[in-house]
Amino acid sequence: MKVPHKAHVALVDGTRFLVLRNVGPIFEPKLSVLEEPSLDPSNYSAAVRNQDDASQLKGKTDLDELAHAAAAAEWLNAKAIAGTFEDLVVIADPKTLGEMRRHYHPELVKRLAAEVDKALAHEPLDKVEKVLANT
């Protein structure tokens, strides 16, 4: 996968949000950590779509995780609108990525270079780099 040099990479799941930057070549990403933003997961809009108590009891829906995904998308939206980055790659597990997409601002969509729907938020950076290089 092409990961533009100096592109920001958002590594997200239901509990973790890490912002990285590709300091390597386009086809051999080398990631460095920029920050791990503190989020206010207060957007529980997913509750409207996920009101089935049985699903929540079985662990299929965790509203706190979905609210964290929404908060990560809102943080990225603010940075995209402010012009903080040119290119963005989002890496998130499918459930988190699906929730994030519901909250993308058009400005963020313009800057989106790629999305990777894999659960890598708790993996070492060298494994994340390999997945990016081989995707």
Distance CA 112, CA 104 (A): 10
Please return the burial class of 70, using the count of CB atoms within 10 Å of its CB with bins 0-12, 13-18 and 19+.
Answer: buried
Phi, psi of 122 (to 5 degrees): -110, 15
Q: Where are the domains of the chain?
A: 8-134
pTM of the model: 0.87
b/e for 77-102, b at 16 or more Cβ within 10 A?
A: bebbeeeebebbbbbbbebbbebbee
Output 135 or 132, whichever has higher pLDDT: 132
Q: How confident is the model at residue 59 (pLDDT cuts 50, 70, 90)?
A: low
Residue 117 Cα to chain centre, angstroms: 9
Dig out the tokens for 56 from the structure: 């929540």
pLDDT of residue 89 exceeding 60? yes
Output the CATH code of domain 8-134. 3.30.420
The amino acid at residue 130 is K
Q: Model confidence over 93-122: pLDDT tens digits?
A: 999 999 999 999 999 999 999 999 999 999
Is 130 a residue whose pLDDT tops 90?
Answer: yes
Residue 118 Cα to chain centre, angstroms: 10
More confident residue, 13 or 44: 13
- Predicted confidence at residue 88, as pLDDT, reads 98
From 12, 73, 28, select the one nearest 20 (Cα to Cα): 12
Radius of gyration of the chain (CA): 15
